[in-house]
Structure 1
Protein backbone atom coordinates (compact mmCIF):
# COMPACT_ATOMS: atom_id res chain seq x y z
CA UNK A 1 0.00 0.00 0.00
CA UNK A 2 1.46 3.37 -1.01
CA UNK A 3 0.68 6.99 -0.18
CA UNK A 4 -0.29 9.33 -3.02
CA UNK A 5 -1.13 13.03 -3.08
CA UNK A 6 -4.36 13.86 -4.94
CA UNK A 7 -5.19 16.91 -7.05
CA UNK A 8 -6.50 19.00 -4.13
CA UNK A 9 -3.37 18.40 -2.05
CA UNK A 10 -4.92 15.80 0.26
CA UNK A 11 -3.53 12.28 0.43
CA UNK A 12 -4.96 8.89 -0.40
CA UNK A 13 -3.76 5.29 -0.42
CA UNK A 14 -3.14 3.08 -3.44
CA UNK A 15 -3.67 -0.68 -3.12
CA UNK A 16 -1.56 -2.49 -5.76
CA UNK A 17 -3.38 -5.80 -5.25
CA UNK A 18 -6.64 -4.19 -6.37
CA UNK A 19 -5.08 -1.52 -8.59
CA UNK A 20 -7.38 0.86 -6.71
CA UNK A 21 -7.22 4.03 -4.62
CA UNK A 22 -9.10 4.64 -1.38
CA UNK A 23 -10.25 8.04 -2.66
CA UNK A 24 -10.43 9.90 -5.94
CA UNK A 25 -7.05 11.02 -7.30
CA UNK A 26 -8.92 14.14 -8.48
CA UNK A 27 -9.17 15.18 -4.82
CA UNK A 28 -9.71 12.94 -1.79
CA UNK A 29 -10.98 15.71 0.49
CA UNK A 30 -13.07 17.35 -2.23
CA UNK A 31 -14.73 14.02 -3.07
CA UNK A 32 -15.63 13.09 0.50
CA UNK A 33 -16.88 16.57 1.38
CA UNK A 34 -19.13 16.75 -1.68
CA UNK A 35 -20.58 13.24 -1.82
CA UNK A 36 -20.98 12.29 1.81
CA UNK A 37 -21.28 15.59 3.68
CA UNK A 38 -22.99 18.00 1.28
CA UNK A 39 -25.11 15.50 -0.68
CA UNK A 40 -25.57 13.05 2.18
CA UNK A 41 -25.43 14.26 5.78
CA UNK A 42 -26.51 17.84 5.09
CA UNK A 43 -29.39 16.66 2.91
CA UNK A 44 -30.91 14.72 5.80
CA UNK A 45 -33.67 16.53 7.69
CA UNK A 46 -33.19 14.42 10.82
CA UNK A 47 -31.97 16.58 13.72
CA UNK A 48 -29.76 13.90 15.30
CA UNK A 49 -29.07 11.40 12.52
CA UNK A 50 -27.77 7.88 12.76
CA UNK A 51 -25.18 7.43 9.99
CA UNK A 52 -23.94 4.11 8.59
CA UNK A 53 -20.70 4.02 6.62
CA UNK A 54 -19.76 1.06 4.47
CA UNK A 55 -15.96 1.09 4.68
CA UNK A 56 -14.23 3.06 7.48
CA UNK A 57 -10.99 3.06 5.48
CA UNK A 58 -8.85 6.12 6.19
CA UNK A 59 -11.38 7.68 8.56
CA UNK A 60 -11.74 10.74 6.33
CA UNK A 61 -15.54 10.52 6.02
CA UNK A 62 -15.91 10.03 9.76
CA UNK A 63 -13.65 13.01 10.52
CA UNK A 64 -15.51 15.31 8.14
CA UNK A 65 -18.81 14.17 9.68
CA UNK A 66 -17.50 14.91 13.18
CA UNK A 67 -16.41 18.41 12.13
CA UNK A 68 -19.78 19.08 10.49
CA UNK A 69 -21.67 17.78 13.53
CA UNK A 70 -19.76 20.15 15.80
CA UNK A 71 -20.13 23.07 13.41
CA UNK A 72 -23.91 22.64 13.27
CA UNK A 73 -24.26 21.40 16.87
CA UNK A 74 -26.04 18.34 15.56
CA UNK A 75 -25.61 15.10 17.48
CA UNK A 76 -24.51 12.29 15.15
CA UNK A 77 -24.27 8.58 15.92
CA UNK A 78 -21.83 7.12 13.40
CA UNK A 79 -21.50 3.40 12.71
CA UNK A 80 -18.80 2.19 10.31
CA UNK A 81 -18.21 -1.35 9.09
CA UNK A 82 -14.66 -2.26 8.09
CA UNK A 83 -13.13 -5.67 7.41
CA UNK A 84 -9.50 -4.53 7.02
CA UNK A 85 -8.57 -1.72 9.46
CA UNK A 86 -5.50 0.36 8.68
CA UNK A 87 -2.45 0.45 10.96
CA UNK A 88 -1.55 3.54 12.99
CA UNK A 89 1.60 4.29 10.99
CA UNK A 90 -0.37 4.40 7.74
CA UNK A 91 -3.04 6.61 9.27
CA UNK A 92 -0.49 9.16 10.49
CA UNK A 93 1.14 9.38 7.06
CA UNK A 94 -2.20 10.49 5.58
CA UNK A 95 -1.98 13.67 7.70
CA UNK A 96 -5.64 14.56 7.21
CA UNK A 97 -6.11 16.72 10.32
CA UNK A 98 -2.95 18.68 9.55
CA UNK A 99 -4.50 19.73 6.25
CA UNK A 100 -8.16 20.00 7.23
CA UNK A 101 -8.35 21.12 10.87
CA UNK A 102 -5.06 21.03 12.80
CA UNK A 103 -6.77 22.13 16.00
CA UNK A 104 -8.90 18.96 15.85
CA UNK A 105 -6.10 16.50 15.15
CA UNK A 106 -6.54 14.77 18.50
CA UNK A 107 -10.11 13.87 17.58
CA UNK A 108 -9.06 12.47 14.22
CA UNK A 109 -6.57 10.10 15.81
CA UNK A 110 -9.14 9.25 18.49
CA UNK A 111 -11.34 7.91 15.70
CA UNK A 112 -8.63 5.40 14.82
CA UNK A 113 -7.56 4.47 18.33
CA UNK A 114 -11.12 4.03 19.59
CA UNK A 115 -11.92 0.41 20.53
CA UNK A 116 -13.73 -1.66 17.96
CA UNK A 117 -17.22 -3.12 18.31
CA UNK A 118 -18.49 -0.67 20.92
CA UNK A 119 -19.83 2.90 20.88
CA UNK A 120 -17.27 5.56 21.87
CA UNK A 121 -18.13 9.22 22.46
CA UNK A 122 -15.44 11.19 20.62
CA UNK A 123 -17.02 14.59 21.28
CA UNK A 124 -20.32 15.92 22.69
CA UNK A 125 -21.79 15.83 19.19
CA UNK A 126 -20.23 12.65 17.77
CA UNK A 127 -20.37 9.03 18.88
CA UNK A 128 -18.44 6.45 16.87
CA UNK A 129 -19.18 2.73 16.66
CA UNK A 130 -16.57 0.98 14.52
CA UNK A 131 -17.51 -2.57 13.64
CA UNK A 132 -14.77 -4.93 12.48
CA UNK A 133 -16.82 -7.20 10.24
CA UNK A 134 -17.63 -8.31 6.71
CA UNK A 135 -20.50 -6.17 5.43
CA UNK A 136 -21.61 -8.91 3.02
CA UNK A 137 -22.72 -11.15 5.90
CA UNK A 138 -23.35 -8.61 8.65
CA UNK A 139 -26.52 -8.95 10.74
CA UNK A 140 -27.87 -5.46 11.38
CA UNK A 141 -29.61 -4.64 14.64
CA UNK A 142 -30.07 -0.89 14.20
CA UNK A 143 -31.75 1.49 11.76
CA UNK A 144 -30.16 4.49 10.07
CA UNK A 145 -31.01 7.85 8.52
CA UNK A 146 -27.98 8.25 6.23
CA UNK A 147 -25.77 5.67 4.52
CA UNK A 148 -22.35 6.46 3.06
CA UNK A 149 -21.72 3.67 0.56
CA UNK A 150 -17.97 3.95 0.07
CA UNK A 151 -16.78 0.46 -0.83
CA UNK A 152 -14.12 -0.05 -3.49
CA UNK A 153 -15.45 0.09 -7.06
CA UNK A 154 -17.77 -2.68 -8.33
CA UNK A 155 -15.17 -4.03 -10.76
CA UNK A 156 -12.63 -4.26 -7.91
CA UNK A 157 -14.89 -5.53 -5.14
CA UNK A 158 -18.00 -6.98 -6.83
CA UNK A 159 -19.13 -8.87 -3.75
CA UNK A 160 -19.96 -5.52 -2.10
CA UNK A 161 -22.33 -4.43 -4.86
CA UNK A 162 -25.25 -6.81 -5.31
CA UNK A 163 -29.02 -6.78 -5.07
CA UNK A 164 -29.23 -8.66 -1.78
CA UNK A 165 -27.04 -6.10 -0.01
CA UNK A 166 -28.89 -3.09 -1.38
CA UNK A 167 -32.19 -4.74 -0.37
CA UNK A 168 -30.76 -5.12 3.14
CA UNK A 169 -29.68 -1.48 3.32
CA UNK A 170 -33.13 -0.35 2.19
CA UNK A 171 -34.68 -2.32 5.04
CA UNK A 172 -32.28 -0.79 7.57
CA UNK A 173 -33.03 2.80 6.56
CA UNK A 174 -35.65 4.78 8.41
CA UNK A 175 -38.40 6.33 6.24
CA UNK A 176 -36.96 9.43 4.61
CA UNK A 177 -33.45 8.01 4.89
CA UNK A 178 -30.85 8.51 2.15
CA UNK A 179 -27.84 6.69 0.71
CA UNK A 180 -25.08 8.38 -1.24
CA UNK A 181 -22.32 6.81 -3.31
CA UNK A 182 -19.65 7.97 -5.74
CA UNK A 183 -20.59 5.19 -8.19
CA UNK A 184 -23.14 6.26 -10.81
CA UNK A 185 -23.02 3.13 -12.97
CA UNK A 186 -26.35 2.13 -14.51
CA UNK A 187 -26.23 -1.32 -12.94
CA UNK A 188 -25.88 0.20 -9.45
CA UNK A 189 -28.69 2.68 -10.08
CA UNK A 190 -30.99 -0.14 -11.22
CA UNK A 191 -30.18 -2.29 -8.18
CA UNK A 192 -30.99 0.63 -5.87
CA UNK A 193 -34.28 1.19 -7.69
CA UNK A 194 -35.15 -2.51 -7.50
CA UNK A 195 -34.51 -2.40 -3.75
CA UNK A 196 -37.18 0.33 -3.48
CA UNK A 197 -35.11 3.51 -3.51
CA UNK A 198 -35.93 6.66 -5.44
CA UNK A 199 -32.63 7.44 -7.14
CA UNK A 200 -31.22 10.79 -8.30
CA UNK A 201 -28.20 11.42 -10.47
CA UNK A 202 -26.38 14.43 -9.04
CA UNK A 203 -23.37 16.44 -10.23
CA UNK A 204 -20.10 14.96 -9.03
CA UNK A 205 -17.44 16.78 -7.00
CA UNK A 206 -15.62 19.75 -8.58
CA UNK A 207 -12.95 18.45 -10.95
CA UNK A 208 -13.96 14.85 -10.26
CA UNK A 209 -16.56 12.35 -11.43
CA UNK A 210 -19.30 13.77 -13.63
CA UNK A 211 -22.15 12.20 -11.67
CA UNK A 212 -22.85 10.53 -8.33
CA UNK A 213 -25.97 8.85 -6.95
CA UNK A 214 -28.28 9.67 -4.06
CA UNK A 215 -30.96 7.13 -3.20
CA UNK A 216 -33.89 7.98 -0.91
CA UNK A 217 -36.38 5.85 0.99
CA UNK A 218 -39.55 7.82 0.46
CA UNK A 219 -41.84 8.10 3.44
CA UNK A 220 -45.08 6.18 3.06
Structure 2
Protein backbone atom coordinates (compact mmCIF):
# COMPACT_ATOMS: atom_id res chain seq x y z
CA UNK A 1 0.00 0.00 0.00
CA UNK A 2 2.44 2.55 -1.26
CA UNK A 3 0.09 5.45 -2.00
CA UNK A 4 -1.13 6.94 1.28
CA UNK A 5 -2.74 10.10 -0.08
CA UNK A 6 -6.25 8.70 0.28
CA UNK A 7 -5.83 6.93 3.63
CA UNK A 8 -8.56 8.21 5.96
CA UNK A 9 -8.64 8.51 9.75
CA UNK A 10 -11.58 6.78 11.44
CA UNK A 11 -12.52 6.73 15.12
CA UNK A 12 -13.53 3.21 16.12
CA UNK A 13 -16.30 2.38 18.59
CA UNK A 14 -13.99 2.32 21.61
CA UNK A 15 -12.77 5.83 20.77
CA UNK A 16 -9.40 4.75 19.41
CA UNK A 17 -8.07 5.46 15.94
CA UNK A 18 -7.96 3.25 12.91
CA UNK A 19 -7.12 4.06 9.29
CA UNK A 20 -9.20 3.25 6.22
CA UNK A 21 -7.66 2.46 2.83
CA UNK A 22 -10.32 3.20 0.18
CA UNK A 23 -8.72 1.42 -2.76
CA UNK A 24 -8.49 -1.77 -0.68
CA UNK A 25 -11.77 -1.17 1.19
CA UNK A 26 -9.86 -2.21 4.30
CA UNK A 27 -9.17 -0.81 7.77
CA UNK A 28 -5.90 -1.17 9.66
CA UNK A 29 -7.83 -2.13 12.80
CA UNK A 30 -11.40 -3.06 13.65
CA UNK A 31 -13.97 -0.27 13.52
CA UNK A 32 -15.64 -2.04 16.48
CA UNK A 33 -12.69 -1.03 18.64
CA UNK A 34 -9.08 -0.76 17.49
CA UNK A 35 -7.48 -0.97 20.93
CA UNK A 36 -9.97 -3.60 22.09
CA UNK A 37 -9.11 -5.79 19.09
CA UNK A 38 -5.36 -5.49 19.57
CA UNK A 39 -5.61 -6.15 23.30
CA UNK A 40 -7.79 -9.20 22.76
CA UNK A 41 -5.89 -10.81 19.88
CA UNK A 42 -2.26 -10.01 20.62
CA UNK A 43 -1.92 -8.99 24.27
CA UNK A 44 -4.43 -11.16 26.12
CA UNK A 45 -4.21 -14.16 23.79
CA UNK A 46 -0.44 -14.16 23.26
CA UNK A 47 1.71 -11.81 25.35
CA UNK A 48 -0.11 -12.48 28.62
CA UNK A 49 0.21 -16.24 28.08
CA UNK A 50 4.00 -16.02 28.08
CA UNK A 51 5.90 -16.68 31.30
CA UNK A 52 9.53 -15.69 31.45
CA UNK A 53 11.86 -12.80 32.12
CA UNK A 54 12.51 -12.01 28.45
CA UNK A 55 10.19 -12.36 25.47
CA UNK A 56 10.98 -12.03 21.78
CA UNK A 57 8.14 -10.92 19.51
CA UNK A 58 7.94 -10.95 15.71
CA UNK A 59 5.20 -8.87 14.11
CA UNK A 60 3.94 -9.23 10.56
CA UNK A 61 2.73 -5.70 9.87
CA UNK A 62 3.93 -2.73 11.99
CA UNK A 63 1.19 -0.52 10.52
CA UNK A 64 0.07 2.10 13.04
CA UNK A 65 2.40 0.77 15.74
CA UNK A 66 -0.57 -0.06 17.98
CA UNK A 67 0.44 -3.66 18.73
CA UNK A 68 4.00 -2.62 19.59
CA UNK A 69 2.70 0.21 21.77
CA UNK A 70 0.30 -1.99 23.72
CA UNK A 71 3.06 -4.57 24.16
CA UNK A 72 5.33 -1.88 25.57
CA UNK A 73 2.64 -0.78 28.03
CA UNK A 74 1.55 -4.25 29.14
CA UNK A 75 4.69 -6.41 29.07
CA UNK A 76 5.85 -7.82 32.39
CA UNK A 77 9.09 -9.12 30.85
CA UNK A 78 11.92 -7.51 28.94
CA UNK A 79 10.87 -7.35 25.28
CA UNK A 80 12.81 -7.65 22.06
CA UNK A 81 10.30 -6.63 19.40
CA UNK A 82 10.98 -7.18 15.68
CA UNK A 83 8.35 -5.70 13.38
CA UNK A 84 8.19 -6.01 9.61
CA UNK A 85 6.41 -3.59 7.29
CA UNK A 86 6.65 -3.08 3.55
CA UNK A 87 4.95 0.33 3.43
CA UNK A 88 5.57 2.39 6.60
CA UNK A 89 3.09 5.14 7.32
CA UNK A 90 4.23 8.69 6.73
CA UNK A 91 4.34 11.27 9.51
CA UNK A 92 1.07 12.92 8.42
CA UNK A 93 -0.86 9.68 8.97
CA UNK A 94 0.91 8.88 12.23
CA UNK A 95 -0.04 12.33 13.57
CA UNK A 96 -3.74 11.41 13.21
CA UNK A 97 -3.49 8.50 15.64
CA UNK A 98 -4.67 8.99 19.22
CA UNK A 99 -3.07 5.96 20.92
CA UNK A 100 -0.72 8.15 22.91
CA UNK A 101 -3.74 9.30 24.91
CA UNK A 102 -4.10 5.84 26.47
CA UNK A 103 -3.66 5.96 30.26
CA UNK A 104 -4.07 9.74 30.27
CA UNK A 105 -1.18 10.26 27.90
CA UNK A 106 1.48 8.86 30.23
CA UNK A 107 3.04 6.92 27.34
CA UNK A 108 2.80 9.51 24.56
CA UNK A 109 6.57 9.89 24.45
CA UNK A 110 6.98 6.15 24.00
CA UNK A 111 4.45 6.08 21.18
CA UNK A 112 6.35 8.89 19.47
CA UNK A 113 9.64 7.07 19.97
CA UNK A 114 8.27 3.90 18.38
CA UNK A 115 7.58 5.80 15.18
CA UNK A 116 10.66 8.00 15.28
CA UNK A 117 13.03 5.06 15.69
CA UNK A 118 15.09 4.47 12.56
CA UNK A 119 14.15 1.60 10.29
CA UNK A 120 16.82 -1.08 10.11
CA UNK A 121 18.34 -0.20 13.50
CA UNK A 122 17.57 -1.57 16.94
CA UNK A 123 16.41 1.09 19.39
CA UNK A 124 15.74 1.04 23.13
CA UNK A 125 12.36 2.73 23.38
CA UNK A 126 12.34 2.51 27.14
CA UNK A 127 14.20 0.39 29.66
CA UNK A 128 13.36 -3.23 28.93
CA UNK A 129 11.81 -2.64 25.50
CA UNK A 130 13.97 -2.92 22.39
CA UNK A 131 12.48 -2.36 18.94
CA UNK A 132 13.81 -3.37 15.55
CA UNK A 133 11.69 -2.15 12.64
CA UNK A 134 12.44 -3.75 9.28
CA UNK A 135 11.09 -2.41 5.99
CA UNK A 136 10.75 -5.54 3.91
CA UNK A 137 8.50 -7.89 1.98
CA UNK A 138 7.12 -10.81 4.00
CA UNK A 139 7.51 -13.06 0.98
CA UNK A 140 11.27 -12.57 0.58
CA UNK A 141 12.57 -11.64 4.04
CA UNK A 142 15.01 -14.03 5.68
CA UNK A 143 14.33 -14.61 9.37
CA UNK A 144 17.49 -15.66 11.14
CA UNK A 145 16.34 -15.32 14.76
CA UNK A 146 13.86 -17.34 16.80
CA UNK A 147 10.86 -15.89 18.61
CA UNK A 148 8.50 -16.72 21.45
CA UNK A 149 5.51 -14.93 19.94
CA UNK A 150 4.32 -13.91 16.49
CA UNK A 151 1.66 -11.26 15.95
CA UNK A 152 0.23 -11.95 12.50
CA UNK A 153 -1.50 -8.68 11.60
CA UNK A 154 -1.37 -8.49 7.82
CA UNK A 155 -4.31 -7.12 5.85
CA UNK A 156 -7.12 -9.68 5.49
CA UNK A 157 -6.82 -12.70 3.16
CA UNK A 158 -9.55 -11.36 0.87
CA UNK A 159 -7.52 -8.18 0.39
CA UNK A 160 -3.96 -9.52 0.25
CA UNK A 161 -4.17 -13.31 -0.18
CA UNK A 162 -0.46 -13.56 -1.05
CA UNK A 163 0.35 -12.83 2.61
CA UNK A 164 -1.63 -15.81 3.92
CA UNK A 165 -0.02 -18.64 1.98
CA UNK A 166 1.57 -21.91 3.02
CA UNK A 167 5.03 -20.43 2.32
CA UNK A 168 4.40 -17.47 4.64
CA UNK A 169 3.11 -19.63 7.48
CA UNK A 170 5.98 -22.09 7.02
CA UNK A 171 8.34 -19.15 7.44
CA UNK A 172 6.48 -18.14 10.59
CA UNK A 173 6.52 -21.69 11.96
CA UNK A 174 10.25 -22.03 11.42
CA UNK A 175 10.87 -18.66 13.11
CA UNK A 176 9.16 -19.72 16.35
CA UNK A 177 10.86 -21.41 19.27
CA UNK A 178 9.30 -24.71 20.44
CA UNK A 179 6.10 -23.90 22.29
CA UNK A 180 5.92 -20.51 20.60
CA UNK A 181 2.57 -18.90 19.85
CA UNK A 182 1.18 -17.14 16.78
CA UNK A 183 -2.09 -15.24 17.02
CA UNK A 184 -4.20 -13.55 14.38
CA UNK A 185 -7.59 -11.88 14.20
CA UNK A 186 -8.47 -14.03 11.16
CA UNK A 187 -10.44 -17.24 11.69
CA UNK A 188 -11.07 -18.37 8.12
CA UNK A 189 -11.09 -22.13 7.65
CA UNK A 190 -8.56 -22.00 4.84
CA UNK A 191 -6.15 -20.05 7.07
CA UNK A 192 -6.56 -22.54 9.91
CA UNK A 193 -5.97 -25.50 7.58
CA UNK A 194 -2.90 -23.85 6.05
CA UNK A 195 -1.42 -23.32 9.51
CA UNK A 196 -2.06 -26.97 10.34
CA UNK A 197 -0.41 -28.10 7.12
CA UNK A 198 2.90 -26.52 8.11
CA UNK A 199 2.81 -28.10 11.59
CA UNK A 200 0.95 -25.72 13.88
CA UNK A 201 -1.52 -26.89 16.50
CA UNK A 202 -4.40 -24.47 15.98
CA UNK A 203 -7.26 -23.51 18.25
CA UNK A 204 -10.25 -21.28 17.68
CA UNK A 205 -10.81 -18.67 20.36
CA UNK A 206 -13.64 -16.19 20.90
CA UNK A 207 -12.92 -13.11 18.82
CA UNK A 208 -12.80 -9.44 19.77
CA UNK A 209 -15.92 -7.25 19.49
CA UNK A 210 -17.42 -7.69 16.03
CA UNK A 211 -15.68 -11.02 15.33
CA UNK A 212 -17.01 -14.41 16.36
CA UNK A 213 -13.64 -16.16 16.42
CA UNK A 214 -9.87 -15.70 16.11
CA UNK A 215 -7.01 -18.18 15.81
CA UNK A 216 -4.11 -19.09 18.09
CA UNK A 217 -1.47 -21.43 16.73
CA UNK A 218 1.24 -23.15 18.77
CA UNK A 219 4.47 -24.79 17.60
TM-score greater than 0.5 by the shorter chain: yes
TM-score, reference length from structure 2: 0.95
Long gaps (5+) in structure 1: none
Which residue of 2 is the match for residue 137 of structure 1? 140
Which residue of 2 is the match for residue 146 of structure 1? 149
Which residue of 1 is the match for residue 72 of structure 2? 66
Which residue of 1 is the match for residue 34 of structure 2? 28
CA deviations on 1:94-142 (whole Å, 9 max, x unpaired) are 1111144501101101000001111101111110000010111101111
Whole-Å separation in 1 of the counterparts to 2:53 and 2:177: 13
Which residue of 1 is the match for residue 214 of structure 2? 212
Which residue of 2 is the match for residue 177 of structure 1? 180
CA deviations on 1:29-78 (whole Å, 9 max, x unpaired) are 00000100000111123431100000000000000000012xx2x10000
Which residue of 2 is the match for residue 13 of structure 1? 19
**Which piece of structure 1 moves more, 98-107 or 51-60?**
98-107
Whole-Å separation in 2 of the counterparts to 1:46 and 1:157: 35
Whole-Å separation in 2 of the counterparts to 1:133 and 1:90: 20
- Asked if the contact 1:31–1:208 (Cα under 8 Å) also holds between the matched residues in 2, the reply is no
Alignment partner of 1:93: what SS? Answer: coil
Whole-Å separation in 2 of the counterparts to 1:76 and 1:24: 25
Alignment partner of 2:210: what SS? Answer: coil
Whole-Å separation in 1 of the counterparts to 2:191 and 2:52: 26
Whole-Å separation in 1 of the counterparts to 2:137 and 2:217: 23
TM-score, reference length from structure 1: 0.95
Q: Report which of the two has the higher share of helix.
A: 1
- Measured after TM superposition, the shift of residue 208 of structure 1 is 2.1
- Asked if the contact 1:35–1:182 (Cα under 8 Å) also holds between the matched residues in 2, the reply is yes
- Asked if the contact 1:193–1:199 (Cα under 8 Å) also holds between the matched residues in 2, the reply is yes
Alignment partner of 1:8: what SS? Answer: coil
Which residue of 1 is the match for residue 130 of structure 2? 127
Whole-Å separation in 1 of the counterparts to 2:23 and 2:137: 19
Long gaps (5+) in structure 2: 1-6
Aligned length: 213
CA RMSD after TM alignment: 0.9
